[in-house]
Structure 1
């Protein structure tokens, strides 16, 4: 079954490639049937399996490793800007180089805090699906809805690989609001999955393969105005592995004034996170404004960037802002040098904690 035959399913070039990949899937990871057993089915060794599309192939975790959770900044939006051609400046690639360990990048552009924590495996935000006639089809794509008590919010960026019982599949948002589709990635028998039981719950594949990892959490940049929600979601994600998690805060956009709504939202979240998590919290605004001026970093990892060499950077600092040289052309994301700086911040924090 192709996306063209499913009303409302996205048909971008990327999605067409994804569905083409699905049709070539030939093997399935061993999974125990039903409920929690399905959640426990996938292990780190499955990270390179052909159960899911190619974009969900991650480094195999067989020792110390790091998982990074977030939205477009973790995914690497604009990471090629500013840096020399060919430099891979995404956080996962930089940190893998710095730490010499596998780094699993679980970033998804556009994801809100509830979508990120659903992928992280937070039970309160789990996808409780309702299949037509309570049946998972033997193959192909089927429209699904969320159970009335589901706590995760719908989002147009929804894209979650996972297992419903022992059935591997991909949950995708449709074109219209609140529309969702589940694509079974490996054909099999039609399965009864009543919506009022755990048999219809989707368990995150990303959570399954990262259970042995340490975790970096950047949660809520796309719904900063929902202060209570992003704090609750951050706390829940942190509590999944409190001794192996650190929280990365947020930063304002380039043109945000010190009194703008977003600047205040960033300040509120960062202050709360600093108080709540202590040395397990990292403030990117402080690091980008202050620490990057120190010679070990300015003339070390940031050598050749030109950061702090312009009058605009100095003027921004005096105004209490991040230097514009760290921003991408959209003024919202960081450029490659900004990611280099944040990767350095994460690197030094995780090594200080003795994780690697």
Structure 2
């Protein structure tokens, strides 16, 4: 009898230890999980949604949008979806990494395209040496020409510090965060931006090329892929947004190559908006809208007065298109049982 009591006591003690261990683990791991979902009455933990990095120029930054941007609108749609399904605290980070006026090359360099110094950099106490940077392929780099989003602090070789562009000839200086008495970084040292180093576990949305910066379609694809391939374990989790300007005839060759390269990960924004832009926006097409749409152009009602940038309605419409495609590709995964609130917008 005593043996049975001792055995029961030990079993209860072991059970209590296991329960405490499970509780402790759940408490420790809570920051890494979303709220609980339910499957067959058993509670399961859903992984956190990845961040979304929106790479681009003024069309991403939100010029002429009266404070509206497509990244901001995209986050609102996701938040509305999660709130409608009971998960208001699980909204992911949506980063606006747009800089007005930047070329595709400059954006790609911020997002992961390899850059290298063109001369050795001698680092001495109180001394800053001037040097140039080129992208892989030998093209001169002019990051920091129009903004610092995602750039500083950079890492050159093994040294972290601040990169400054000091003139229009693309000369740079580098100020290490921690200066040793003397250190020399060799020629061809790799230059890595903050975003390229720290924003890698995310879904990139790449909307680049309106300001040039590429020699041909293959070069633009190379730049886009540099951002995609910089993501950790996420080569199939990305969106490439096509140029929205021009007519169907003017964009045929570019759009065909993009579609062949990226498949459903490519959004032919010009084509979608020229066919269904006013419908997606929930507005009535004007006579001018219909004329432009017949030519394969984005309707005027979605554009600012310059007919290049979007207005607030246009940015919200772009966000809807991107959100729907991301959801269709299962790039955005909601808790079990969640119902979509935005329809898919394909060509």
Bucket of the pairwise TM-score, normalised by the shorter protein: 0.5 to 0.7
**Structure 1: 5+ residue runs without aligned partners?**
1-61, 81-87, 300-306
**Structure 2: 5+ residue runs without aligned partners?**
1-47, 79-90, 333-347
Equivalent pairs counted in the alignment come to 265
What is the match of residue 340 of structure 1?
A: 316
Q: 1:139 to 1:352 in 2, by over 3 A?
A: farther
CA distance in 2, matches of 1:270, 1:173: 35
CA distance in 1, matches of 2:276, 2:247: 21
Q: Is the radius of gyration larger for structure 1 or structure 2? A: 2
Q: 1:164 to 1:332 in 2, by over 3 A?
A: same
Measured after TM superposition, the shift of residue 323 of structure 1 is 1.0
What is the match of residue 243 of structure 2?
A: 250
CA distance in 1, matches of 2:77, 2:136: 43
Q: Out of 225, 238, 243, which is 1:235 matched to?
A: 225
CA distance in 2, matches of 1:281, 1:247: 5
Task: Give deviations 1:208-240, integer Å, cap 9, x for gaps.
Answer: 222111111123221177223213222333333
TM superposition score normalised by structure 2 = 0.67
Measured after TM superposition, the shift of residue 94 of structure 1 is 1.4
Q: Out of 140, 163, 167, which is 1:153 matched to?
A: 140
- The correspondence of residues 174-253 of structure 1 with structure 2, limited to 5 A, is 174-184=166-176, 186=177, 188-196=179-187, 200-223=189-212, 226-227=215-216, 228-240=218-230, 241-252=234-245
More divergent stretch after superposition (94-103 vs 153-162): 153-162
CA distance in 2, matches of 1:204, 1:293: 39
- The correspondence of residues 268-347 of structure 1 with structure 2, limited to 5 A, is 268-294=253-279, 297-299=280-282, 307-347=283-323
Measured after TM superposition, the shift of residue 148 of structure 1 is 9.7
- The correspondence of residues 115-130 of structure 1 with structure 2, limited to 5 A, is 115-122=106-113, 125-128=114-117, 130=119
Q: 1:202 to 1:104 in 2, by over 3 A?
A: same
RMSD: 2.9
Task: Give deviations 1:58-87, integer Å, cap 9, x for gaps.
Answer: xxxx7521111112211222221xxxxxxx
Q: 1:196 to 1:187 in 2, by over 3 A?
A: closer
Q: 1:149 to 1:276 in 2, by over 3 A?
A: closer
CA distance in 1, matches of 2:200, 2:57: 20
Q: 1:221 to 1:137 in 2, by over 3 A?
A: farther
Matched, 1:108 2:94: no
CA distance in 1, matches of 2:229, 2:68: 29
CA distance in 1, matches of 2:296, 2:107: 30
Contact 2:278 2:285 in 1 (8 A): no
What is the match of residue 69 of structure 2?
A: 90
Contact 1:142 1:183 in 2 (8 A): no
Q: 1:323 to 1:195 in 2, by over 3 A?
A: same
Measured after TM superposition, the shift of residue 175 of structure 1 is 3.6
What is the match of residue 54 of structure 2?
A: 68
Contact 1:129 1:195 in 2 (8 A): no
Q: 1:91 to 1:149 in 2, by over 3 A?
A: closer
CA distance in 2, matches of 1:141, 1:310: 58
Task: Give deviations 1:251-280, integer Å, cap 9, x for gaps.
Answer: 21xxx5666xxxx3x443222111111111
SS at match of 1:79: coil
SS at match of 1:143: coil
Measured after TM superposition, the shift of residue 179 of structure 1 is 2.7
What is the match of residue 171 of structure 1?
A: 163
